Amino acid sequence: MKLLLVEDDIFFRKFYVEKLKEKGFLVEEADDGEQGLEKIKSFKPDLVILDLIMPKKDGFEVLRSLQIDPELKKIPVLVFSTLGQNSDIEKAKKFGATDYVNKSLFDFEQLVVKINTLTKK
């Protein structure tokens, strides 16, 4: 299964890329929203794990851009952010996010379960 992790925090990104690879996922990474959109188009992941607070294009802008493309909007997006207000969650889902996980309250095994649930075809 192909995952794309779009996250600007290098430590956090590298940690999750390695942990997800250990679980058998094929993982690509992007460090900002612009690079994330480019990689979504070229890599065609089964799931995008997307931070919201990033340089160049934030996660909300990435979600809006995906909704414009009929093929890309089919790719599920799991927002993985420290923004945890209901208004942020509702806004992300309104812009096309499939689900939302607050990364400050995360449990890695629960994240893997959520990834597997969202990518079941």
CATH code, domain with 21: 3.40.50.2300
Which residues have a Cβ under 8 Å from the Cβ of 33 and sit 6 or more positions away?
6, 54, 55, 56, 57, 58, 59, 61, 62
pLDDT exceeds 80 at position 105: no
pLDDT exceeds 60 at position 93: yes
The pLDDT value recorded for residue 1 is: 94
Higher pLDDT, 109 or 6: 6
107: tokens are 């449990």
Residue 30's DSSP bridge partners are 6
pLDDT exceeds 80 at position 107: no
The pLDDT value recorded for residue 86 is: 83
The pLDDT value recorded for residue 19 is: 95
The pLDDT value recorded for residue 99 is: 92
Higher pLDDT, 88 or 26: 26
DSSP string, 67-105: HHSTTGGGS-EEEEES---HHHHHHHHHTT-SEEEEGGG
pLDDT exceeds 90 at position 111: no
The pLDDT value recorded for residue 121 is: 53
The number of domains in the chain is: 1
Q: Which domain holds residue 24?
A: 2-118
The stretch 4-15 carries a mean pLDDT of: 93
Is residue 79 within 8 A of residue 59, CB to CB? The reply is yes
pLDDT exceeds 70 at position 23: yes
